[in-house]
Structure 1
Amino acid sequence: FEYVDVTQKDSIEKVVEKYDIDTIYHLAAVLSAVGEQKPQLAWNVNMNGLYNILEVAREHNMIRVFWPSSIAVFGPETPRVKTPQDTVLIPTTMYGVTKVAGELLCNYYFIRFGLDVRCVRYPGIISSETPPGGGTTDYAVEMFYEAIKKKRYTCFVREDTVLPMMYMPDCIKAAIDLMEADPSKIKHHVGYNVTGMSFSAGELAAEIKKHIPEFECEYKPDFRQKIADSWPMSIDDSVAREEWGWKPDYDLASMTKDMIEKLTRRFAEGRL
């Protein structure tokens, strides 16, 4: 693999030309919590990085570009339960601002240049392979890791905080399914709502406890609570289901079982 700095256009172009790339999955971003601490960095990486990717894709007549948007596009004015596809987008974080602007930029490149850019609004992503990366939903990942390693966790949001989530296999599935969808069926292109499940921090702890009875969780909300409170509790992804057949494979129970099995194995091997 190659290291690429998305804020440097020539860095992207070198790799594109070296491997004759015709499709890009552009995932580089500064996430919500880190973005509040370093807003200028978030803007530079998230916006200038996306612009560079779109420009390189346009100049090289690429077939398709995938870019992940986020539930961070929503804000306090947005309906928080079953948040609809087309609704108010007034976020209160720099990360959210870059995602709204990014959706508009991607849509512009589709309309103005015919570049086939596709994106979904991901909820919180839970992975057994990737450690937490500075997002507001990181508690849902950290809770699993700490349950395996220490049998206890201090959660940075309230016990009753409900957010939409998705397991990494479904996250990958959503990207591939959308990118492989028939162009004639894609009406929105940019910013499809997708979700896997919604649960509270307390419900996740209770589900983990079914597998690790000695697990204890306490709750000490920090600055990330305010971000979580501005985001949806559940997502209406019916448009994605209708237009390109989106359907998640995992719910809270099946995800928890799989996460604990994988992390327990890695912990035993000394890789956690």
Structure 2
Amino acid sequence: MKVVITGGTGFIGRMLARRLVARGELTAPSGNLETIDEIVLFDAVAPAHSIDGLDDRVRIVTGDIADCDLVRSLIDRDDVSVFHLASVVSGGGERDFDLALKVNLTGALNVFGACRARSGRPRVVFASSLAVFGGAAMPRVVGDTTKQTPQTTYGATKAIGELLINDYTRKGFFDGRAARLPTIIIRPGRPNLAASSFASGVFREPLAGRTCLLPVSLSTRMPVLGYRTAVEGFIALHEADGAALGDDRAVNFPSLSVTVEEMIAALRRVAGNRPLGDITPAPDPAIEAIVATWPVETEWTRAAALGLPVDADVDGIVRAYIEDFVDEQD
């Protein structure tokens, strides 16, 4: 079978591709486990360096997700699964409304349309976000069925994507699932335009011996998810029995609700014996305004029932990052 990962050269896309190469099989539209013989990583730009941990089953394609013909040329087999991760992120969407609509809405429609055109019912896993929640009436703890009142363009496009996943599945066009993600930590490399980028930077920069400029207060609380657990969660959601999802295909992924101060404490517990860069307050009203619209805690009963993996604590996420991206470079 074939797997297409949009946003495939991004951090989670690369990690997912490595895991699928190692795993070697997924449940195909036939309903049976089938060997993965082709993986396409589709993205707007090529990676700056070769991606470790892949093999000759994997190829990278660059292009515009708003190009319908190109997307259809990639989703060209009936025995296909798609992980749709490509997106303009929160801060980027606030800066460029039209680009967010082009990538997040037109792109999603192109992916969903290409899957609809295949015979059978391909499984489609859509990366959504807790940014679908918001508004003055948002409760402190959001669950799978909490009303969605997104306060960013990014969150609005994700909410629309979830509705489309439900409707395309209801129509029998494909077997869709939406992964409603908290902030994923710890991302290596350079900061991105996501308003949540600081949640990785508060670990990554000090571990690299650099100063982290913290745009929010130490008391800022947010749900987070380790990147290893996120990747395993994507696969677990793909493999879940569609009947268990019912007519609501979106699932809050498990998360840990922590403050920035608690993140820093975890860093110091795990890596206090290492030379660490400073963490310096640098309030950014634009970032603070976006973060203030997010939920601070989630309920994820459905994810637990489906057997999605859970992080034990932030310390374990820090240890994994050091193992994968810090000690590996030493």
Aligned partners of 2:170 and 2:247 also within 8 Å? no
Deviation at 1:151, TM superposition (A): 4.6
**Is 2:262 aligned against 1:236?**
no
Going from structure 1 to structure 2, the CA distance change for 1:21 and 1:37 (only over 3 Å counts) comes to: farther
Query: Following the alignment from structure 1 to structure 2, what is the Cα–Cα distance between the partners of residues 21 and 134?
Result: 35
Query: Following the alignment from structure 2 to structure 1, what is the Cα–Cα distance between the partners of residues 281 and 153?
Result: 26
**If each structure's helix is expressed as a fraction of its own residues, which one has the higher value?**
1
Which residue of 1 is the match for residue 267 of structure 2?
Answer: 208
Amino acid at match of 2:92: V
Amino acid at match of 2:323: E
Helix, strand or coil at the partner of 1:92:
coil
Query: Following the alignment from structure 1 to structure 2, what is the Cα–Cα distance between the partners of residues 152 and 80?
Result: 35
Pick one of 100, 105, 109 that aligns with 1:42: 100
Deviation at 1:57, TM superposition (A): 0.3
Which residue of 1 is the match for residue 162 of structure 2?
Answer: 103
Aligned partners of 1:35 and 1:41 also within 8 Å? yes
Helix, strand or coil at the partner of 1:119:
strand
Amino acid at match of 1:101: I
State, as a whole percentage, how many aligned pairs show the same letter. Answer: 27
Instruction: Note the aligned Cα RMSD (angstroms).
Output: 2.0
Query: Following the alignment from structure 2 to structure 1, what is the Cα–Cα distance between the partners of residues 160 and 291?
Result: 20
Aligned partners of 2:254 and 2:308 also within 8 Å? no
Query: Following the alignment from structure 2 to structure 1, what is the Cα–Cα distance between the partners of residues 184 and 150?
Result: 19
Helix, strand or coil at the partner of 2:180:
strand
Deviation at 1:20, TM superposition (A): 5.8
Query: Following the alignment from structure 1 to structure 2, what is the Cα–Cα distance between the partners of residues 78 and 173?
Result: 33
TM-score (norm 1): 0.90
Which residue of 2 is the match for residue 256 of structure 1?
Answer: 318
Larger relative contact order (C-alpha < 8 A, sep ≥ 6)?
Answer: 1
Pick one of 174, 179, 191 that aligns with 1:115: 174
User: Unaligned 5+ residue runs, structure 1?
Assistant: none
Helix, strand or coil at the partner of 1:157:
coil
Greater CA drift, 123-132 or 177-186:
123-132
Aligned partners of 1:162 and 1:201 also within 8 Å? yes
Deviation at 1:166, TM superposition (A): 0.5
Aligned partners of 2:130 and 2:295 also within 8 Å? yes
**If each structure's strand is expressed as a fraction of its own residues, which one has the higher value?**
2
User: Unaligned 5+ residue runs, structure 2?
Assistant: 1-58
Aligned partners of 1:166 and 1:195 also within 8 Å? yes
